[in-house]
Every structure is written in C-alpha cells, then in structure tokens.
Structure 1
Amino acid sequence: MKKWFPSVFPALLIIIVMTGVFIFSQTTNLLLYHLGIYPLSAKGLLGILLAPFIHENANHLYSNIIPFFVLTVLLFYFYKDIAYEILGFSWIMTGVLVWFGARPAYHIGASGVVYALMAFHVLSGMVRKNPHLLSISLLIVFLYGGMIWGIFPDFIPGRAISWESHLAGLITGCILAIYYRSQGPQRPLYSWELEPDEEEDDEENPPQNNKPDNTEKEANQAEEIMIKYIYKKNNDDEEETHH
C-alpha cells in the first residue's frame, strides 16, 4: 500500500476539491456554472482552469470522479516521471480546445480530462509496446470502452452533455501519448536484441585484425642473427662454438 500512496494522493486531493466545491454550491444554492468554459469569450477563459471542478448534480459528479480517480492513480503509478505534465496538459489543452471549438454555452465538469487520460493510457500502451502498459490499456478499454460513444452527439440527443469536451479530451490524450512516447517506461529489451549481429559487417569499416603483426619484427630479428665460426687449433682436438 505504501508504494501506491504517492499515486493515490494527487488523485484523492483533486477529488476532495471537486466534492468540496459541489457540496458548497449545493448547500449555499450558489450556481457556479458561470465559472465554466464559454467558447470564444473572455469570461470563459477562466473556465479552462475551473470547469473540471464544477458539476451540475451528484450524478454528474459521481460519473466523473470514479474514472478520474482510477485513471489518475494509474497515471502516477506507471508514469510517475511525467505524470504531472500529462495531467496538467490534459487539463489545459482540453479546456483550450473546448474554448476554441465548442458550442456557445457554458461547459462544466471533468469529463474532458477523463477522456484525455483514457486516450493517453490506451494509445500510450500500444505505442510503447510495454507488456505492463499494454495490459493497462486493455483493462481501460474493458472498463471504459463504452465512453467512446460520448464523442458522438447523435448518441446523446436532447441531453445537456458537452460532447465537445469529450472529443477535445480524446484528441488531447492521443497527442500527449505520441509526444511523450520516448519518455517514461519503455519496451524492455530482450537478451537476443542486446547481442551484436556478427553476420552483418560494415562494408565501409571492415573489422580489423587486432592480432599483432610479427612478420616485420621477425624479419628484423633474422637480419640481426649472425653465425660466426671460430676455429681454435690445438694439439688434441678441434672445438667449434656457435654464437
């Protein structure tokens, strides 16, 4: 449990703030929707930061905080080196896309961020080809795969749902998965990938023989060898010595 705590804490903290804002708005009857994103207007710029904290009702809050908690915990556990960047960009980029391209209405809720995190996890696991991350991708598809229909307005007719936020989050998550594909956990290298391929030689730089060439040295030594014959005569025998 201790190794999961650093991953749980950021997600839990944000959810506490979301829940606190909702309770405050309900107990005070204070409508906070005007703090959401209103596209192409100066008053809606603040909503890029605040909209994910604001929810219309308890069902809206509950449907967002559960997947947000799961996806954020997985993000901080498996991508701890880049988790804050991914979460921050998911939050901001989704809001910016909604501000530029959504319908002229107030857009609130954390669903856009949820879609961004979901898309990041699914695509990142596939791009990196890491077995653990790929299993997480499949798990998320199993749990939240049905959310893909939330980007099609024809499947939610007459409902006040910001499908633009869902689509913006999906686009954001895919962009982040591709951009950060070389950072964080990578595909493990197997032993056969680490061994050099002996059959492929570099034609421009052929392998050199590191064995010392003793031919010239032996030739020089041969030239230095001189054989002298010294004859010493005496009465008894003849002695021959070699140097």
Structure 2
Amino acid sequence: MLARRAKSALFVSACLTAGIWVVYFLTIPFQTTLLPLLGILPRQLEGLDGILFAPLLHAGTGHLLSNSLPLFAFAFLVLLEGVKRFAAVAAICWLASGIGVWLLGGGLTVGISGVVFGLFAYLMVRGFYNRDLLQILIGGVLFLVYGSLLWGILPTAAGISWQAHLFGAAGGVAAALVLRRRGDVPRIRTQKRARP
C-alpha cells in the first residue's frame, strides 16, 4: 500500500515539476508580453488574473531551477497523503500567496515559490495539528535540510518577492489547520454507573 502510494506520489510530483519546465520553454519567446499580462500586478485590476497564472511562469532558468528541487521534494511528501490532500493544500497555498502579493506586493511577481513555501510550511506544522510523531520528525528533518529557506519570508534581497513566500507559508499553516485529521481531540466519555 505504501509502496503504491509512494510510486504514485513520485509520478505526480515528477509530472508537476516537468510541467512547469514545459510551460517555461513554451513561453520563452513570449515572456516580454506574457509576464506582465499574466503575472501579479499588485493592487491593479488587470493583475488579478495573475493570482491564478503567475505560479506557472518564471523569469529565467535560474529562477525555475531554484524552485524545481524543493517543489519536487515537498510535493512528493504531501502526495504521500493522497492526491486530494495535495490538491487542497496546493490550492490553499496558491491562493494565499497570490492574494497576499496582490494586496501587499511591491511589483510584478511570477513564479511558483509561494506554493513551494506553502508546501514546506504545511509539512513543518502538520504533525503538531495531527498529533503524529512521525510527521513531527519528518518536519524536523526538513527544517534541518531546508530551514534556511525561511529567510525568504523576510525582505532580505531585491527582486525576490518575500510577500509571495510569506503568504504562501501562511497558507501552508492554514492548510495544516483546516485539513487536520478529525477525531484527534480527546473526548470525555461518561460511563453509566451501575445501579445498586
């Protein structure tokens, strides 16, 4: 069962990562037109559609390369919980990042890094909401390996949308809360007293 799920997760995460690359290569000749047209333009009505399309676009090979490995790894780990769970987590992170950038961003924004930060945050905190020791341990290992990513939620580098990272991560935490396992909250059970 786990092997089948891992195989499926590997396939879907590989397809997702490859799909982003396919879109990138197909759009290279049109980037000067497409990026302003389909990217997020903060606080402008014509930039609203960027909430949906901006994560599919990248401003260069280096930009896409920096997102590809973490996207593949984090998507794989979330997909181990199932495709439906992954779709819900990704959608929440996608929308949270995009809306946050549209409201508070500083300029034209494209790229899937907000979703990557969201998946990372989800994996970091889900174990605490689910009260799952294995998930907490996985989150700890991820923090040791990828913890430096968290600097990306701060305005430390010009040309990088820390707003996309911050709101994507907030979306990941929200997804972990909204999608937490039900029935984990202890219930007080009353026992009937035997009649004398």
Instruction: Please report the TM-score for the alignment, with normalisation by the length of structure 2.
Output: 0.86
Q: Tell me whether 1:98 sits opposite 2:101 in the alignment.
A: yes
Q: Tell me whether 1:75 sits opposite 2:78 in the alignment.
A: yes
Q: Tell me whether 1:208 sits opposite 2:190 in the alignment.
A: no
Cα distance in 1 between the residues matched to 2:105 and 2:77: 29
Q: 1:179 to 1:3 in 2, by over 3 A?
A: closer
Q: Which letter does structure 1 place at the counterpart of 2:193?
A: P
Alignment gaps of 5+ in structure 1 = 188-192, 210-243
Q: Spell out, residue by residue over 1:131-175, the C-alpha distance to the aligned partner (whole angstroms, 9 max, x if none).
A: 22112111211121001111111x32xx21001101111111111
Cα distance in 2 between the residues matched to 1:69 and 1:88: 16
Q: Tell me whether 1:51 sits opposite 2:54 in the alignment.
A: yes
Residue of structure 2 in register with 1:39 after alignment: 42
Q: Which letter does structure 1 place at the counterpart of 2:55?
A: P
Q: Spell out, residue by residue over 1:20-72, the C-alpha distance to the aligned partner (whole angstroms, 9 max, x if none).
A: 1222233x263232111111212111111111111111111011011011111
8 Å CA contact 2:10, 2:76 repeated in 1: yes
Residue of structure 1 in register with 2:63 after alignment: 60
Counterpart of 1:134 in 2: which secondary structure?
A: helix
Residue of structure 1 in register with 2:165 after alignment: 166
Q: Spell out, residue by residue over 1:56-103, the C-alpha distance to the aligned partner (whole angstroms, 9 max, x if none).
A: 111110110110111111101035552211112211222112112212
Map 1:146-225 onto structure 2 (within 5 A): 146-153=148-155, 155-156=156-157, 159-183=158-182, 205-208=192-195
Q: 1:183 to 1:112 in 2, by over 3 A?
A: farther
8 Å CA contact 1:37, 1:108 repeated in 2: yes
8 Å CA contact 1:118, 1:173 repeated in 2: yes
CA RMSD, Structure 1 to Structure 2 (Å): 2.5
Residue of structure 2 in register with 1:11 after alignment: 13
The CA deviation at 1:183 is: 4.7
Cα distance in 2 between the residues matched to 1:181 and 1:24: 38
8 Å CA contact 1:93, 1:172 repeated in 2: yes
Cα distance in 2 between the residues matched to 1:81 and 1:39: 30
Cα distance in 1 between the residues matched to 2:71 and 2:147: 14
Q: 1:2 to 1:182 in 2, by over 3 A?
A: closer
Residue of structure 2 in register with 1:30 after alignment: 31
The CA deviation at 1:127 is: 2.4
Residue of structure 1 in register with 2:113 after alignment: 111
Map 1:224-235 onto structure 2 (within 5 A): none
Instruction: Please report the TM-score for the alignment, with normalisation by the length of structure 1.
Output: 0.71
Cα distance in 1 between the residues matched to 2:30 and 2:117: 29
Cα distance in 2 between the residues matched to 1:24 and 1:14: 15
Q: 1:130 to 1:150 in 2, by over 3 A?
A: same
8 Å CA contact 1:82, 1:183 repeated in 2: no
Number of residue pairs the alignment of both structures matches: 191
